Amino acid sequence: MKIGILTSGGDCSGLNAVIRSIGLYVYRNIKNAEIVGIPDGYGGLIRGESHSLRREDIEGILDLGGTILGTSRQPFKMMTVDVNGKSRLEMMCENYKKMGLDCLFTLGGAGTHKTAALLSMEGCNVIGLPKTIDNDIYGTDVTFGFQTAVEVATECIDRIRTTAESHGRTMLVEIMGNKAGWLTLFSGIAGGADMIIIPEIPFSVAALCYFIAEKRRRGDGCSIIAVAEGALPDTDAKLKKDKRTFIRHELGESTSTAHLAQIIGERTGAETRSSVLGYMQRGGTPCAFDRVLSSRLGGFAGRLAQEGRFGVTVAVSGSNITFNALTDIAGKYKLVNPSGEIVRFAKDIGIGFGDK
């Protein structure tokens, strides 16, 4: 059995742990197995590139950040567009056959899964694995990489808090997550944030300023606000994405955070600063939880290949590892439920979400 592995989309901690676990399972349990790594995500498959992944190539990478295969973003909407008479999808299917693959593991996020579903519908034997710090893949309780990012963002909030307390400042901490606020929600709760601003709950600037002003009136000048990269003021929420991007572009901002810090400072008189955590959240060694999760997911995916179950993606359900059909989850997102238990409890203990 010849198996290909690729990692696609934004990197995160745990990718190498998954590659290792797939390899360990396959080399131990499938006779005459051969594994090849495809470089740079779907980019490598489009170009028809691969290299051998021997047992010794994958043995020491459990705790290594990033991906030994490299990754790239290949927009889904471009997959079926003809370039010189052939689409990228056609090129990938051709190369899958040329490489003589019996199975392809695609480690990636929501976009990667959409392309994986297309490949599967075209007859390639695909098994997906749910990767992303955003934790927004539909059909799985958790994705690998998420927990490590939560740990990193929480530690950053803890550190920023000491400066906020020393100076009596309001600190906005921008956390990754464009569509989904999971990372901001979890690290915000873990870091004891006073407010958590996420894309799923558009914020009112007035409500946000009132919350901070009230806190200051009570004699507490230090506030920590965890702001998701994709946080939206309620005035923008009804606008089309293009229009929103245009407004931010006009302001010279790609996110709301710095602008929001300025408005809060002007309206409340609080000394306000912002910090963008950025790619720190994606880099570095996976935490123990992600090492275990990645290993379990990789091993389970190896077993699926052995059993010939394709067109699926591995998922976590409660304490079990299971799988979903790619076509059932592709194109869907798992977002924070604004009236769900986690947000409700957070509000119950006094965390503000900036909604009215």
List interacting residues with ligand F6P (CB under 6 A): 9-10, 73, 109, 132-134, 176-178, 229, 282
Distance CA 331, CA 237 (A): 21
Say which residues have a Cβ less than 8 Å from residue 122's Cβ, sequence separation at least 6. Answer: 89, 93
DSSP 8-state symbol, 223 = E
Distance in Å, CB of 173 to ligand F6P, minimum: 14
Residue nearest to ligand F6P (CB): 10
User: What percent of the residues of the chain are helix, what percent strand, and what percent coil, each to the nearest 5?
Assistant: 45, 20, 35
In the complex with ligand F6P, the residue whose CB is nearer, 145 or 311, is 145
Cβ atoms within 10 Å of 278's Cβ, excluding its own: 12
Min. distance of Cβ 172 from ligand F6P in angstroms?
Answer: 17
Residue closer to ligand F6P, measured from CB, 239 or 276? 276
Which of these is catalytic: 11, 134, 194, 290? 134
The nearest distance, CB 1 to ligand F6P, in angstroms, is 31
Shortest separation between residue 33's beta carbon and ligand F6P, angstroms? 30
Residue 245: how many CB atoms within 10 A of its CB? 12
Nearer to ligand F6P, 72 or 327 (CB): 72
Q: Which H or E element spans position 166?
A: helix 146-167
Which residue's CB is nearer to ligand F6P, number 73 or number 273?
Answer: 73
The C-alpha atoms of residue 354 and residue 212 are separated, in whole angstroms, by: 10
Sign (positive/negative) of CA torsion 197, 199, 201, 203? Answer: positive
User: Least distance from C-beta 218 to ligand F6P, angstroms?
Assistant: 34
Q: What is the DSSP string of 247-271?
A: HHHHHT-SSSHHHHHHHHHHHH---
User: CA-CA distance, 293 to 297, in Å (whole number)?
Assistant: 6
Select 9 or 311, whichever has its Cβ closest to ligand F6P: 9
**Sequence-distant (≥ 6) Cβ neighbours of residue 309 within 8 angstroms:** 127, 323
Integer Cα distance of 16 and 69 in angstroms: 9
Cβ nearer to ligand F6P, comparing 73 with 267: 73
**End-to-end CA, the chain:** 58
Question: Catalytic residue at 134?
Answer: yes
Catalytic residues: 134
